[in-house]
Amino acid sequence: MKVLKFGGTSVADAESIDCVSKIIKKDKNNLTVVISALGGITNILSIMLEKAGNGDDSYKNNINEIEKRHLKLIKNRIPITKQSGVVSFVKTQLNNLENLLDSVFSLREITLKSSATITSFGEILSCSIIYEIFKYQKIDVIFEDSRNLIETELQNNREIVNLIKTKNKVISFFKKNNSRVTLIPGFIASNNNGETTTLGRGGSDYTAALLANILDVNILEIWTDVSGMYTANPKLVSEAIPITNLSYYEAMELSHFGAKVIYPPTLQPIIEKQIPMIIKNTFKPDDQGTLINSSSNTNGQIVKGISHIDNVAIVTLEGNGMIGIPGFSNRLFEAISKKNINIIMITQASSEYSICIGLKSEDAQEAKKSIDDEFKFEISLSKVYPAKVEDDMVNLAIVGDKMKDHQGISGKLFSSLGSNNINIRAIAQGSSERNISIIIDRINIKKALNTLHESFFESQIKELNLFVTGVGNVGGKLLEQINKQEKYLSKNLHLKIRVMGISNSKKMILSNEPISLNNWKSLLENGINADRDLYYKNIKSKNLRNSIFIDNTASEIISKEYSKYLNNSIGVVTCNKIACADELKNYKKLKNISRKFNSPFLFETNVGAGLPVIDTLNNLVASGDRIIKIQAILSGSLNFIFNNFKKGKSFSDVVKKAEELGFTEPDPKIDLSGVDVARKILILARESGLNIELKQVKNNTFLPSESLNTASKEEFYKSLKKNSNHFNKILNDAELKKCRLKYIAQLEDGIASVGLKHVNKEHDFYNIEGSDNIILFYTNRYADQPLIVKGAGAGAAVTAAGIFADIIRIGKK
């Protein structure tokens, strides 16, 4: 014999019930089948009860809704000639229900008795109809009302099953009746006086477990709408997977901490008789499901699952008066248990200065009141403070039998939450060490679950969520590169890059799913109007782990927003130099926030585009080397311009060409005035530990003052044309000395400078072609022969590649 239980999710409508019949027909064993109310009906009944108790007569509208759902089922699955009996049964029951609610409404009072009777209607209706459907489908079935089988008694204001009486009733029923299928409503029971009682919300699982225990069956099957107990709630963690095997205790802990798929008391009766239990999916019956038995098979997985309880509050009692005085905690717990309030978690600081308990939000105020009453005297003497309630929290637990034998589990829990800036409010570890349970702010739940799921179950895959701003030359190339590398990154680096937001100055896309990079352009054209504030708020409210804001612009306004992102643990990757070349205090502030909130701030492309310049410098400094001198060609634009500026060519045409090829800043004056190079050497100086400002960088400009003072790009080009003699002279002077013109940045003895220099054939820089950059690091270790980084130092593709490398750096952390 087997016991099968089908939950509300399995019997929500006619199509679902067809799946149930199929499972029952296929199984040739004798079956006891426990059925819940149609999905959602018990909820509606509870709401109606609340309404009636509060004097709100709109409960009457819900009666129609309940009637409709049940009659629809009858119409869809029972032939018209056989409907009348069951239809009139349903109508009579609904009349009774309405009468009961009317009396609750008149009295404005909800009692245990009215509550149980009213919520019991769901199972009474569902089972009566399903019984008729089964009969019509030629299943050999009898129906027995569980109120005749399961007896409860009131203890501490709670209905507890009287096991002895229940056992006698069940055994004597099954002695007399042995159809192939016995249909029994879950959840409902009765007391000694024959009055209806219930086993608590979700209690059908418990009904089934009690029957499995008494009938000593081989297996208890819980059929639901998911393929087992998952590694985390599948509605919140899309990567969650069914756990193939759990020990009884692991299942108990997971369900106790909120994995709703099993009602926690269910485990006790099956543990007693060591009956295996399997959770199966009614809609995918071939899926393996979760087997729960006495073996604790880890399959190499130490943490088996993560579960959580929503809507939790913490109540803290603290005060100097508590120190060393015995009995405080006893009095606290007694005060709470008197009110029948369930405590989810307890932590006590070893200083004994405070005790903190986690409980359901709805119980928090009552708990506070009873604690404050209990400690009235001590509060009046200021020995303790009135209990403090903090709401909007969730309790989250990781569970596994073998956790106690492995070190580092809690370290991993704390560090992965910490690096995503999720604050832990309270911590407790079960004495069995089978669970570690924490309380965090409710807004972080999805992020926390996914972060922990990633660290404990998907260690091989790390997800990065990108929000890209600026999709012109560089940004466009970046998206193209990410799209092309997607498979490689996932296979070789186990990185999953998801672009969740794209914006330019006109339009933006804010998406809940990764944006398709095959047609992002048309998606963006049809996006909503760009709004920087909304973009930021959306990223923040998404609260995704490993979020990164990417700035591909040269905009000052956008550079001012980095601190906002970093403050919220959103990383920033940027090719925009403005922030790092801003006032020293602002640069330092960003670095500090990045450290404080564990939010990466990377800007490798600020110097040398895609060349690993800053990374190399950081590695030298971090490994204890000391920078003596940096000498560099840092402007791909100026290098390109002076490499192409030959006799007979117009300087302004060469500049124009460089701009067209994407080798200059959007405003070429920033390059030609030397400001761009000055910013770069400033950033290198700062990264090597010098505290200097931009104005301290010596800038020997080669531009005539007229060009420097222009107000627009047009004017600038005009002035270049007008001053062509000035530029031709610069070229001539160099050629006369057989030298080439190179714009060189230097850092030595704490002094940074930039300027156009004559470079002769012997110099390392003489042959630097096109838009290439070269950086010579003279350090203690590289004293005679410098460490040289050389290569293309401008252009959209290499800059995009540099940004991409920063993103990957974050992914590999």
DSSP secondary structure letter of residue 230: B
Binder among 98, 225, 352, 667 for ligand ADP (CB under 6 A): 225
Locate 334 and state its tokens: 């007694």
Q: Which helix (H) or strand (E) holds 157?
A: none
Distance CA 634, CA 193 (A): 91
DSSP secondary structure letter of residue 599: -
**x-marked contacts with ligand ADP along 197-216 as a string, rule CB under 6 A:** -----x--------------
User: Is 197:159 a contact under the CB 8 Å cutoff?
Assistant: yes
Which residues of the shown chain bind ligand ASP in the complex (CB under 6 A)? 7-8, 36-37, 42, 122, 186-187, 201-205
305 binds Mg ion (CB under 5 A): no
Instruction: Residue 37: name its binding partner from ligand ASP, ligand ADP, Mg ion, none (Cβ under 5 to 8 Å by kind).
Output: ligand ASP
130 binds ligand ADP (CB under 6 A): no
Q: Please, which residue, 235 or 713, has the CB nearer to ligand ADP?
A: 235
User: Is 590:599 a contact under the CB 8 Å cutoff?
Assistant: no
Q: Please, which residue, 280 or 402, has the CB nearer to ligand ADP?
A: 280
Torsion of CA 295, 297, 298, 302, to 10 degrees: 10
Q: Please, which residue, 182 or 224, has the CB nearer to ligand ADP?
A: 224
Q: Rounded to 5 degrees, what angle do the CA atoms 82, 88, 90 make? A: 105
Name the segment binding Mg ion (CB under 5 A); options: 2-10, 306-314, 401-409, 548-556. Answer: 2-10
**x-marked contacts with ligand ADP along 288-307 as a string, rule CB under 6 A:** -----------------x-x
CB of 32 to Mg ion, least distance (A): 18
**x-marked contacts with ligand ADP along 258-277 as a string, rule CB under 6 A:** -xxx----------------
7 binds ligand ADP (CB under 6 A): yes
- Tell me which residues in 7-46 interact with Mg ion (CB under 5 A): 7
Q: Which helix (H) or strand (E) holds 312?
A: strand 305-318
User: Is 316:345 a contact under the CB 8 Å cutoff?
Assistant: no
Instruction: Residue 566: name its binding partner from Mg ion, ligand ADP, ligand ASP, none (Cβ under 5 to 8 Å by kind).
Output: none
Name the segment binding Mg ion (CB under 5 A); options: 76-84, 194-202, 400-408, 555-563. Answer: 194-202
Distance CA 366, CA 361 (A): 10
For Mg ion, how many residues bind (rule: CB under 5 A)? 2
Phi-psi region of 384 (alpha: psi -120 to 50; beta: other; left: phi over 0): beta
**Strands of 552-678, DSSP E:** 571-574, 601-602, 627-633
CB of 34 to ligand ADP, least distance (A): 11
284 binds ligand ADP (CB under 6 A): no
Q: Please, which residue, 203 or 430, has the CB nearer to Mg ion?
A: 203
457 binds ligand ADP (CB under 6 A): no
Binder among 3, 4, 8, 807 for ligand ADP (CB under 6 A): 8
- Bridge partners (DSSP) of residue 502 are 468, 509
186 binds Mg ion (CB under 5 A): no
Which residue type sits at 776?
Answer: L
CB of 146 to ligand ASP, least distance (A): 11
Burial of 678 per CB tally in 10 Å (0-12, 13-18, 19+): buried
- Tell me which residues in 199-228 interact with Mg ion (CB under 5 A): 202
Distance CA 726, CA 707 (A): 11
Q: What's the chain's length in residues? A: 813
Residues contacting 106, CB < 8 A, separation 6+: none
DSSP secondary structure letter of residue 242: B
Instruction: Residue 390: name its binding partner from ligand ASP, Mg ion, ligand ADP, none (Cβ under 5 to 8 Å by kind).
Output: none
Distance CA 775, CA 789 (A): 5
Which residue type sits at 565?
Answer: Y
Q: Please, which residue, 7 or 265, has the CB nearer to ligand ASP?
A: 7
CB of 15 to ligand ADP, least distance (A): 16
CB of 235 to ligand ADP, least distance (A): 5
Residue positions annotated with a catalytic role: 680
230 binds ligand ADP (CB under 6 A): yes
Q: Please, which residue, 206 or 777, has the CB nearer to ligand ADP?
A: 206
CB of 165 to ligand ASP, least distance (A): 22
CB of 9 to ligand ASP, least distance (A): 9
Instruction: Residue 430: name its binding partner from ligand ASP, Mg ion, ligand ADP, none (Cβ under 5 to 8 Å by kind).
Output: none
Residues contacting 575, CB < 8 A, separation 6+: 474, 551, 552, 603, 605, 606, 609, 799, 802, 803
**Strands of 20-66, DSSP E:** 31-35
Instruction: Residue 42: name its binding partner from ligand ASP, ligand ADP, Mg ion, none (Cβ under 5 to 8 Å by kind).
Output: ligand ASP
Q: Please, which residue, 43 or 288, has the CB nearer to ligand ASP?
A: 43
The owner of tokens 């149930």 is: 20
**x-marked contacts with ligand ADP along 780-799 as a string, rule CB under 6 A:** --------------------
DSSP assignment string, 336-401: HHHTTPPEEEEEE-TTSSEEEEEEEHHHHHHHHHHHHHHTHHHHHTTSSPPPEEEEEEEEEEEE-G
Distance CA 163, CA 213 (A): 10
Name the segment binding ligand ADP (CB under 6 A); options: 73-81, 226-234, 446-454, 647-655. Answer: 226-234
Name the segment binding ligand ADP (CB under 6 A); options: 45-53, 229-237, 432-440, 796-804. Answer: 229-237
CA distance readout (Å), 631 to 628, 701, 744, 793: 10, 18, 7, 15
CA distance readout (Å), 357 to 221, 316, 433, 687: 35, 6, 19, 47
Which residue type sits at 216?
Answer: D
Distance CA 156, CA 340 (A): 7
Instruction: Residue 201: name its binding partner from ligand ASP, Mg ion, ligand ADP, none (Cβ under 5 to 8 Å by kind).
Output: ligand ASP
- Bridge partners (DSSP) of residue 313 are 359
Instruction: Residue 469: name its binding partner from Mg ion, ligand ASP, ligand ADP, none (Cβ under 5 to 8 Å by kind).
Output: none
Instruction: Residue 122: name its binding partner from ligand ASP, Mg ion, ligand ADP, none (Cβ under 5 to 8 Å by kind).
Output: ligand ASP
CB of 105 to ligand ASP, least distance (A): 23
User: Is 409:302 a contact under the CB 8 Å cutoff?
Assistant: yes
Q: Please, which residue, 129 or 632, has the CB nearer to ligand ASP?
A: 129
Q: Please, which residue, 5 or 496, has the CB nearer to Mg ion?
A: 5
Binder among 197, 224, 546, 635 for ligand ADP (CB under 6 A): 224
DSSP secondary structure letter of residue 533: H
Binder among 233, 281, 543, 779 for ligand ADP (CB under 6 A): 233
**Does residue 526 sit in helix, strand or coil?**
coil
**Does residue 154 sit in helix, strand or coil?**
strand
For ligand ADP, how many residues bind (rule: CB under 6 A)? 20
Binding site for ligand ADP (CB under 6 A): 7-10, 36, 202, 224-226, 229-230, 232-235, 259-261, 305, 307
Binding site for Mg ion (CB under 5 A): 7, 202
